[in-house]
Amino acid sequence: MDAVIIAAGYGSRLRELSDSKPLTRVAGVPLIELGVRQARAAGAERIVVVTGHEADRLEAFLTGLAGRTGIEIVAQRVADWSRPNGLSVIAGAARTRGEFLLMMADHIFSAEILADLARQGAPTRGVTLAIDRRIDSPLIDPDDATWVETGPGGMIRAIGKTIPVFDAVDCGAFLATAELSEAIAAAIAAGKSGSLSDGMQHLADQGRAATMDIAGAWWLDVDDPRAHEMAEAEAPARLALIYGSRVSLTDT
């Protein structure tokens, strides 16, 4: 199985901490390294990282990371990283083989979330999204969250930042098939901007977008200084299963 990590954007809300969101450190480790290692721990044998902003610097880091970890990492650069994130998904998915884990570079997860998600594949779905039903959790930024309305069997009815009715939040991790790229392209053809949510809604309208409830597991979107402070405090212990130590991540 492959994994795709979207790391192309500008990261404006973290600019006071770092010029490159994927290279922003949590407990001494860049977010992109945490993402790569998390995907590998979940069973991904090959990681495609979609780059854009500060691409040269990020790709140089990825080359070094691959060398010292032995993990196969493929950098896929997008020419215009200011465009909606669905275009980054299409670019990354084009380099995959079969179904793949899809992650955002600024999200970190306790180990069981991605491991469970990797086992969710089924012919009845084109994509499965990890969701959290704790919509009032203090770990969630309501001004930036992508909300989800689910229906029978946990299938997605609606998804987006401004939907009026919702019962879960998007955790930023997906098990995807080629149908997701096709759905983003179809949404663009229908006049949508080309966001990942546009493609997800297209699949939802076809009854092909499923969810996996994380059932109380820990995750965090490290999108601003407040979230970064929480990550600094909580990530070392939460990610111990990946690094084999509860003491420090800085020796990895």
Tell whether the model's pLDDT for residue 227 goes beyond 70: yes
Between 70-74, 130-134, 152-156, 245-249, the lowest mean confidence (pLDDT) is in: 245-249
Helix (H, G, I), strand (E, B), or coil: what is residue 178? helix
Name the residue ranges covered by the structural domains of the chain.
2-243
Cα distance between residue 28 and residue 134, in whole Å: 29
Instruction: Give 249's pLDDT tier (boundaries 50, 70, 90).
Output: very low
Average pLDDT, the chain: 90
pLDDT band at residue 15 under the 50/70/90 scheme: low
Q: Percentage of residues in the chain with pLDDT exceeding 90?
A: 73
Band of residue 51 on the pLDDT scale cut at 50, 70, 90? very high
> Is 233 or 195 the better-scoring residue by pLDDT?
195
Query: What is the DSSP annotation of the chain?
Result: -EEEEEE-S--GGGTTT-S-GGG-EETTEEHHHHHHHHHHHTT-SEEEEEEBTBHHHHHHHHHHHHHHH--EEEEEE-S-TTS-HHHHHHHHHTT--SSEEEEETTEEE-HHHHHHHTT---TT-SEEEEEE--TT-TTS-TTTPPEEEE-GGG-EEEEESS-S--SEEEEEEEEE-HHHHHHHHHHHHTT----HHHHHHHHHHTT-EEEEE-TT--EEE--SHHHHHHHHHHHHHHTHHHHT-SS-STT-
Q: What is the spatial distance between Cα 203 and Cα 200, in angstroms, rounded to a whole number?
A: 5
Instruction: List, for residues 91-140, the tens digit of each pLDDT value.
Output: 999 999 999 999 999 999 988 999 999 999 999 999 999 999 999 988 88
Average pLDDT over residues 243-251: 40
pLDDT at 243: 52
Position 251 scores a pLDDT of: 39
Q: Does domain 2-243 have CATH number 3.90.550.10?
A: yes
Residue 13 banded pLDDT, cuts 50, 70, 90: low
